[in-house]
Chains A and B, each alone.
Chain A
Amino acid sequence: MSASVVVTGLGIASPNGLGTKDYWSATLRGKSGIGRITRFDPTGYPAQLAGEIQGFEAKKHLPQRLLPQTDRMTRLALVAADWALEDAGVKPDTLSEFDMGVVTASSSGGFEFGQNELQKLWSQGSQHVSAYQSFAWFYAVNSGQISIRNGMKGPSGVVVSDQAGGLDALAQARRQIRKGTPLIVSGSIDASICTWGWVAQGASGRLSTGTDPERAYLPFDADASGFVPGEGGAILILENESAARKRGAKVYGEIAGYGATIDPKPGSDRAPGLRKAIELALADAGVGPRDVDVVFADAAAIPELDRIESEALVQVFGPRGVPVTAPKTMTGRLYSGAAPLDVATALLAIQEGLIPPTVHTAAISDYQLDLVTGEPRRANVRTALVLARGYHGFNSALVVRGFHESSNNQLQNTGS
């Protein structure tokens, strides 16, 4: 029997709330962080709405030495990691450096930093490009900077599988803990709302071109026509359960099961891989469909992908067989940051006995989904399934399970 891997700390940076307390309260209220882009003038771009994080001032949280060498996504990730460690009650400098590792996901790297340096390259010449361009833009930079800042030299890495990467990183972190490392900082923050990032994201052809924030991102809805991207995500502290218990840590819940598949090539008559990923995750967790209390949907808002997801859910759970929610309707899709935020939200739902709502969308009745809309639903949540799909056919599913201890702490504000 492998060691149980539990989550002991959360650090959240989301378009509708900075810090766990702000995020959770906004999410229960159905407050959306989606609006017209403010970080550059989106006039002239096909898509003009995004979920932007407001009020984040890196210099209030990070040493000045780090600012010239970090992209916005890395600054957010470093601060979210600080919050998660604080929430977990972990002081890295009191632990052995080889007993702590960092595994994050990334979907694009530090696009804004890269864009600024490439602009200098073509306008001023190569000698004007920052030496920090050698690492500040690349996929593994968040893992690297979190590792350096906290003196963590255990197994570390980065997983790149678009939005599915957010779950794949947590699974990789679980593997490293089972192989003997007591603590891994995991999850993901993505942030590339700059003109270059916007063009790159737009190339998928999946971005909503709607201009009304309440009608632009409508997964499972008859009017679904693409998604709104956002920035942010969550960093989680994963620990070996017995090590966490030994130090008296608060435990949010367990990473209980995981499954991942790749879709068959386009045009194949084989079935899409999402259902199989769900079944693998449930089997890995040792639970059946009836044990699952809520599903956090991938919610692509592309009609074909919505149909595939709802069919997979009906095949596994039966028609309207399980409550389904997509709080990401309030943040936009955060790429690799989306699923860790959903996992954090699932753990908060378990702790608080509340399923947060999906906003603005009304599921097509043919989909036969029990979509939680409008307001939070009170429920005894013990086991949650989180789904995430990446561009080009990645499917991942993760099961989290709570313990329902009587000693659950009140939600701490580890935010700004």
Chain B
Amino acid sequence: MSKEFTLEDLKRVLLAGAGADENVDLDGDILDTDFADLGYESVAMLETGRRIEIERRISLDDGALAEARTPRELLSLVNQYRSAGHSGHAGHAAHAVHASAAGMGT
């Protein structure tokens, strides 16, 4: 089983995938702050979820991902999946993106 997914891990993934809002201090007490208030809208969360899936070789449920409104809730979700040993193929999020890519140049 892989090691725990921590707040530091989450901050690293958020920064790499979506950057950080200048008005937000990610090093502050953000565990219970809404992602929306941290400047991360739905696409940023989709990107974050996708990166976590790749990094941890798990497959997150899109619905559950959307319901995780704060870092604490997302960490709990990821660690739940991690300990349950979900793994394997990519999540549905990636399929939607794939369809969009195929539509390019039209």
Contacts and interface: CB of A to CB of B under 8 A. Distances in A.
Contact of B104 (A69, A128, A137): A137
A135 B43 CA distance: 10
Interface of A is mostly: helix
Interface string B14-40: 001111111000000000000000010
Q: Of residues A114, A126, A135, A200, which shows the largest number of chain B Cβ atoms within 10 Å of its Cβ?
A: A126
Given A114-B101, A131-B46, A134-B43, A126 B94 contact: yes
Contact of A127 (B17, B44, B50): B50
A283 interface: no
B2 interface: no
A133 B54 contact: no
A63 B18 CA distance: 11
Nearest to A134: B100
Contact of A133 (B21, B22, B100): B100
Interface stretch (A117-125, A292-300, A310-318, A402-410): A117-125
Interface residues of B, number: 27
A118 B101 CA distance: 7
A65 B53 contact: no
Interface in B36-71: 39, 43-44, 46-47, 50, 53-54
Contacts, number: 72
Contacts of A63: 19, 21-22
A68 B54 contact: no
B21 A131 contact: no
Nearest to A130: B47
Nearest to A129: B97
B94 A129 contact: yes
Contacts of B3: none
A117 B46 contact: no
Nearest to B98: A126
Interface residues of A, number: 26
A109 B94 CA distance: 21
B1 interface: no
Contacts of A379: none
B84 interface: no
A121 B101 contact: yes
Contacts of B53: 127
Contacts of B54: 127-128
Interface of B: 16-22, 39, 43-44, 46-47, 50, 53-54, 90-91, 93-98, 100-101, 104-105
Given A131-B93, A133-B97, A137-B104, 6 more contacts: A63-B21, A65-B21, A68-B17, A68-B18, A127-B50, A133-B100
29 contacts: A63-B19, A64-B19, A65-B19, A65-B20, A68-B16, A69-B18, A69-B44, A109-B104, A114-B104, A117-B101, A118-B101, A125-B90, A127-B50, A127-B54, A127-B91, A127-B94, A128-B54, A129-B98, A129-B101, A130-B47, A131-B43, A131-B44, A131-B46, A131-B93, A133-B97, A133-B100, A135-B43, A138-B104, A200-B105
Interface of A: 63-69, 109, 114, 117-118, 121, 125-135, 137-138, 200
